Structure 1
Amino acid sequence: MSETLRIGFVPEHFSTPLHFAQKHYALSASLLPYPSGTGHMVQALQAGEIDVGVGLTEGWIAALGKAQTTSTDVGFKVVGTYVETPLCWAISTGAKRRIDGVGGLKGKKMGVSRVGSGSYVMGFVLADQQGWLDPTSSSAPFEVVPLNTFANLRLAVNDSTADFFMWEHFTSKRYYDNGSIKRIGEIYTPWSSWKIVAKNILLSSSSSDPNSSKLTPELEELLESINKGVRHFEANQEEAVKYISTELDYSEDDAREWLKTVRFSQDVRGVDKGVVEKTVEVLTKAGVLEGAVDAKSMIGLNRSEAVKWI
């Protein structure tokens, strides 16, 4: 373990409180960007490249659940809730493609960043909602085309390498506005959208004291710094808009509109067991997870336990 913790994050508008935590509150960690998303951070955690990840709920739960079904240790657990609101996934195709709605996507080529990423998982949630999953068939509802980055996905739907892809609405919107890609639908996550995970080494061993923290002091300090970043974000919305519209790939108008839709956790420490169970339920129904999966074992800190040491 390095002296300075390493946090993997997606360099999008949702990362603004992390930036503020580092800029204003001496966040005791290095921020390492992973523009290709949660699936890449799963690999980075397992490779020892990062210690903590801030990513999409469905990506973390899918990785943890698949590890259980193969009796492997993925090496991390969910320790925090970063964003309380669901995520709006926009469904996009090429600007001149003759695909005008979700109904015609069955059997098409779905571009994803990585297998197991949020863009992959939500495709199967969409297929479940549309009634395209046949439990008696071995055929998948889509051909999956891994393309790593958002830029590659945009190119792929225009050159027909892929027929459609799914990405967060406001991150996609600039490219609708400039005519690069076309929006054909949307789908919301049935769960709060962003969670924080940490490597198992940052979880304290069990103690005879039932009120003792389950996190190491360095992880507790890190999460409290993120809390301060969130509070700064909420109290300084104009600073947030300026950062998002000058340092990230968003217009000022889109940054302001996004602020109306998002609600960060007042205390990022801990995760609700019910949210994890709901995610497991939906991912199992969608065919992303198979077999019995224990939601409780995915959690490094329950919110009910976090209250004890606020």
Structure 2
Amino acid sequence: MTTKPLRIGFVPEHFSTPLHYATTHFSLSATLIPFPSGTGHMITSLRSGEIDIGIGLTEGWIAGLGKDGGSTEGDSKDGGYRIVGTYVETPLCWAISTGPKRDINGVEDLEKNNKIGVSRIGSGSYVMGFVLADQRGWLGKSEKPFEVVPLGTFDKLRKGVADGTADFFMWEHFTSKRYYDNGEIKRIGEIYTPWPSWQIVASTSTSPTDDRLSDLFTKLDQGIKHFNENPEESVKYISTSLDYSEKDAREWLKTVKFANGTKGVDVSVVEKTLGILRKAGVVGESGMKEKEMSAITRT
């Protein structure tokens, strides 16, 4: 009997480099499916049975499960996925951007009820908007802090702030930087996630004891080890195969720390993230609880 390779959703950015190594250097048997629009799109695909694994942003995964007890899209009655592993330990720096000709020069120029561009409802770009709103004191019990404008891709977000469809958007710093450098968008600030930034999830139809999942953790760990030991190879790959300059690739390497062992998630990370998302108004008290969100926890 032939075992089907796992279908793994990932964001085709610099953070995917260890996954690339896992397949090219350590024979990970998997079908890699890129999701340039991010974590929110992967949630939809996990729930519809299009992928088995997703590697994406912590806040997106937890918000997806915590909001109203999880979605009932398709055949899923339980949120459709669970957190099974940890990918990146360091926080993510979200750059806050607007159009180059807009009369917005800093976060202090943003106002309540501005239009925020997001990739999808429930994505990291959506969730972090509410974290920013909490920091700015825009959250009210009966009113929304801003108008949310879903635009899909990073390219459409950049165009959206230029033509006025949205006033600002948030995206990872180094992915945004080359577009500041070429004048396509203008940086007005930044915000860091108050949690480790990337986690690994599996569909609820994928057993936590599946041998393919064990193989994924083993090969990802090898890919991360190779990443740590071969910075020049990583710089070359990121600057030639992905959308980054060599200088930015080198700077990013100084800021990122991948997990020392990808299997399992620290429950305290889930608890902290969910607590902040509740405070920010992204999820309510009635949603899925912390301990229910993880299928494999770290001991």
Which residue of 2 is the match for residue 132 of structure 1?
Answer: 138
AA at the equivalent of 2:45? A
Q: 2:222 aligns with which of 225, 228, 232?
A: 228
Could you list the per-position Cα deviations for residues 176-228 of structure 1 after superposition, in whole angstroms to 9, with x for gaps in the alignment?
0001000000000000000000012222xxxxxxxxxx422111111111111
Equivalent residue of 1:256, what SS? helix
Which residue of 2 is the match for residue 301 of structure 1?
Answer: 296
Which residue of 1 is the match for residue 277 of structure 2?
Answer: 283
1:262-277 → structure 2 map (5 Å cutoff): 262-277=256-271
1:67–1:73 Cα contact (<8 Å) kept: no
Which residue of 1 is the match for residue 236 of structure 2?
Answer: 242
Q: 2:191 aligns with which of 187, 190, 194?
A: 187
Q: 1:32 to 1:258 in 2, by over 3 A?
A: same
The alignment status of 1:142 with 2:139, answered yes or no, reads no
Could you list the per-position Cα deviations for residues 242-267 of structure 1 after superposition, in whole angstroms to 9, with x for gaps in the alignment?
00000000000000000000000010
Residue 93 of structure 1, CA deviation:
0.1
AA at the equivalent of 1:78? I
Which residue of 1 is the match for residue 250 of structure 2?
Answer: 256
1:1-310 → structure 2 map (5 Å cutoff): 3-68=4-69, 72-105=77-110, 106-135=112-141, 138-203=142-207, 214-292=208-286, 293-304=288-299
AA at the equivalent of 2:60? G
Which residue of 2 is the match for residue 206 of structure 1?
Answer: none
Please, which runs of 5 or more residues in structure 1 have no aligned partner?
204-213, 305-310
Query: How many percent identity over aligned positions?
Result: 64
Q: 1:26 to 1:92 in 2, by over 3 A?
A: same
Aligned equivalents of 2:264, 2:37: Cα separation in 1: 26
The range that moved more, 284-293 or 169-178, is: 284-293
TM-score computed with the length of structure 1 as normaliser: 0.92
Q: 1:168 to 1:70 in 2, by over 3 A?
A: closer
2:65–2:71 Cα contact (<8 Å) kept: no
Aligned equivalents of 1:141, 1:21: Cα separation in 2: 42
Aligned equivalents of 1:97, 1:237: Cα separation in 2: 38
AA at the equivalent of 1:191? W
AA at the equivalent of 1:253? K
AA at the equivalent of 2:139? L
Could you list the per-position Cα deviations for residues 251-289 of structure 1 after superposition, in whole angstroms to 9, with x for gaps in the alignment?
000000000000000100100000000010000000000
Could you list the per-position Cα deviations for residues 95-119 of structure 1 after superposition, in whole angstroms to 9, with x for gaps in the alignment?
1100011123221100000000000
Equivalent residue of 1:81, what SS? strand
Residue 69 of structure 1, CA deviation:
6.3
Aligned equivalents of 1:28, 1:57: Cα separation in 2: 25
Aligned equivalents of 1:222, 1:128: Cα separation in 2: 37
Aligned equivalents of 1:202, 1:229: Cα separation in 2: 22
Question: Aligned pair count?
Answer: 292
Please report the RMSD computed on the Cα atoms of aligned residues, expressed in angstroms: 1.4
Please, which runs of 5 or more residues in structure 2 have no aligned partner?
none
